[in-house]
A and B are shown apart, each in its own frame.
Chain A
Amino acid sequence: MLCLPGDTVTEDADYMRGHGTYYKSKVLTSSVAGCIDKVNKLLSVRPLRTRYNGEIGDIVVGRVIDVQTEHKRWRIDTSSRLDTILLLSSVNLPGGELRRKTVEDELMMKSFFKEGDLISAEVQSIFADGALSVHTRNLKYGKLGQGVLLRVSPSLVERRKTHFHNLPCGVHLILGNNGYIWISLPVSEGVESGGFAINLDPVPLADREVISRVRNCILALAKQKMMLHSTSINTCYEISQSYQVKDLIKSKIMTEIAQLTNEKMKIEELQ
């Protein structure tokens, strides 16, 4: 259901206001041009394109822009309106130890994360001006190694319980709430990497093909503005098996597999 700014979303007082809406004298009205999204009693309007608006608890994938030793922090690019900050006190030291940060740690900041590194993190808090503060204080967050990064619109990634998936087709997927998606080799459960060491072993060709196929599937879904979550990506992957990986970037085929995915998911929902 499409609505433009100023259109009434609902007059029912039962619903809660989500993103993209505002109250105009007790009537819920839309403030952006987009589709109405209903989750239980929460109504929000999802625009086609938007900058990422962070919330506490979101998982984000971002690239380090620079290291600010004097402020003890890193600036991360997450395609949001203000740069995201990663404080030195919010990272785990290598090896997973817990101790106070010393002066040496400050000078060694570059050896932890340097400019251009890709990391996954969780939003810890929001500063007064709206900038996000993230942390990597869990062993599943940290520097990302070999894989493929995709940038899609943040409105296509739903908020779910987990954003880290090990798909049955054999890839590890991180769906960042900011629209950055990371595809890499499967990570075995229970391995405590510590978040700093990255695996630089050569990746075999078969695995690379699987990763490329998943990437093309996600792009096909994103082009048709379908929501991205592990079920939809998995379904799309299975449907795409009838084509070669390099054919998946042709626009006709992208439309076709996205539509087939849509239909298949509707059938599964009804079951």
Chain B
Amino acid sequence: MAPKLRDLIITYNNLANPDGSALFCQGNTIVQAYVFGPVDVSNSKERSEKASLFVTFKPKNSYEIRKELYENYIRTVLETIIHLDMHPRTSISVILQEMQDDGCLLSAAVNSACCALLDAGIPMKCMIASVTSCISVDAIQLDPNKEASQKSDGSIVLTFESSKNGIISVTSEGELTFDNIKEAIKLGCLASKEIYDFYHKSMKKRFLINS
């Protein structure tokens, strides 16, 4: 079964101040990511062997409670793939601003962080792609919108990396059976390849002489 992702659109470098910025749309879920770094850091926060990574997730409405959870997830994922030891005693800040939420917010945030890091030229080991699947009554749906995910029994967010197509991180909510998880991983693998293709195409456009 070929996975069907919603339309992906990306705009790079649309903010003047940050070193790298990307506006990522997955259907109607839109996240703006920007990256500052590597920059100076105060003595208390500096680490002598690697760069300190700060991730801030800013939800649309500032009183939301999910943000710590999302920040931790995204930070662990990014710490695996960024070459932090290339820039010791500096800090890299990644800020994600939620603009519109129509389901799969965490996946969209991870993908947009990856694109902003690409734009900033920060050395990474490989690319990452994140997909969400939701399960309702034994039917599994890839990349659900808000309505579908609210009606579902459970959902799982998988983050893949491009070098061996391995899974870096998993997080789930609700009830899932073992078969559901296997199915989700299969679908996710296929979907992540589409996402890598999309990154490739969008980057290529930036290097063309007439764009």
Q: Quick check: do A and B touch in the complex, using CB within 8 A? A: yes
A32/B207 in contact, CB under 8 A:
no
Say yes or no for A72: interface residue by CB 8 A criterion: no
Interface 1/0 per residue, B10-22 and A, CB below 8 Å: 0001000001100
Minimum CB–CB distance for B171 against chain A, Å:
23
Interface 1/0 per residue, B158-201 and A, CB below 8 Å: 00011100000000000000000000000000000000100110
* Residue from B13, B39, B204, B210 in contact with A2 in the complex, judged by beta carbons closer than 8 Å: B204
Give the CA-CA distance A28 to B88 in the complex, in Å: 22
Interface 1/0 per residue, A230-254 and B, CB below 8 Å: 0000000000000000000000000
List residues of chain B with CB within 8 A of the CB of A51. Answer: 19, 38, 121
List B26-81 residues whose CB lies under 8 Å from chain A: 37-40, 81
B127/A49 in contact, CB under 8 A:
no
Chain A: interface residue total (CB-CB under 8 A): 29
Give the CA-CA distance A5 to B81 in the complex, in Å: 10
Q: A4-B199, A81-B40, A83-B40 are known contacts. Are A32 and B124 too (CB-CB below 8 A)?
A: yes
List residues of chain A with CB within 8 A of the CB of B124. Answer: 5-6, 31-32
List residues of chain B with CB within 8 A of the CB of A24. Answer: 125, 163
Say yes or no for A147: interface residue by CB 8 A criterion: no
Say yes or no for A138: interface residue by CB 8 A criterion: no
A31/B125 in contact, CB under 8 A:
yes
Give the CA-CA distance A32 to B115 in the complex, in Å: 11
Say yes or no for A259: interface residue by CB 8 A criterion: yes
A5/B125 in contact, CB under 8 A:
yes
Closest B residue to A47 using CB positions: B121
B119/A49 in contact, CB under 8 A:
yes
Q: A6-B127, A255-B210 are known contacts. Are A81 and B121 too (CB-CB below 8 A)?
A: no
Say yes or no for A170: interface residue by CB 8 A criterion: no
A6/B88 in contact, CB under 8 A:
no
List residues of chain A with CB within 8 A of the CB of B156. Answer: none
List residues of chain B with CB within 8 A of the CB of A50. Answer: 120-121
List residues of chain B with CB within 8 A of the CB of A5. Answer: 81, 118, 123-127, 162
Give the CA-CA distance A258 to B210 in the complex, in Å: 11
* Residue from B40, B120, B125, B204 in contact with A6 in the complex, judged by beta carbons closer than 8 Å: B125
Q: A5-B118, A5-B126 are known contacts. Are A81 and B200 too (CB-CB below 8 A)?
A: no
A48/B206 in contact, CB under 8 A:
yes
Give the CA-CA distance A193 to B15 in the complex, in Å: 42
Q: A6-B163, A81-B90, A129-B88 are known contacts. Are A259 and B125 too (CB-CB below 8 A)?
A: no
* Residue from A34, A47, A81, A255 in contact with B39 in the complex, judged by beta carbons closer than 8 Å: A81
Give the CA-CA distance A5 to B82 in the complex, in Å: 10
A32/B126 in contact, CB under 8 A:
no
B19/A49 in contact, CB under 8 A:
yes
* Residue from B88, B121, B162 in contact with A49 in the complex, judged by beta carbons closer than 8 Å: B121
List B123-178 residues whose CB lies under 8 Å from chain A: 123-127, 161-163
* Residue from A4, A81, A82 in contact with B203 in the complex, judged by beta carbons closer than 8 Å: A4
Closest A residue to B120 using CB positions: A49
* Residue from A20, A130, A262 in contact with B88 in the complex, judged by beta carbons closer than 8 Å: A130
Closest B residue to A223 using CB positions: B209
Interface 1/0 per residue, B88-100 and A, CB below 8 Å: 1110000000000
List residues of chain A with CB within 8 A of the CB of B163. Answer: 6, 24, 29
Minimum CB–CB distance for B18 against chain A, Å:
11
List residues of chain A with CB within 8 A of the CB of B206. Answer: 48
Give the CA-CA distance A49 to B87 in the complex, in Å: 17
Give the CA-CA distance A129 to B38 in the complex, in Å: 12
A49/B118 in contact, CB under 8 A:
no
12 CB < 8 A contacts A-B = A2-B207, A29-B125, A29-B163, A32-B118, A33-B203, A49-B119, A49-B120, A51-B19, A51-B38, A81-B37, A82-B40, A262-B209
B residues engaging A (CB < 8 A)? 13, 19-20, 37-40, 81, 83, 87-90, 118-127, 161-163, 196, 199-200, 203-204, 206-207, 209-210
Given contacts A2-B203, A130-B89, 12 further A-B contacts (CB under 8 A): A4-B162, A4-B203, A5-B126, A5-B127, A29-B163, A31-B123, A47-B121, A49-B19, A49-B119, A82-B90, A83-B40, A255-B209
Kindly list the 3 A-B residue pairs having the minimum CB-CB distance in the complex, ordered from nearest: A6-B126, A50-B121, A47-B121
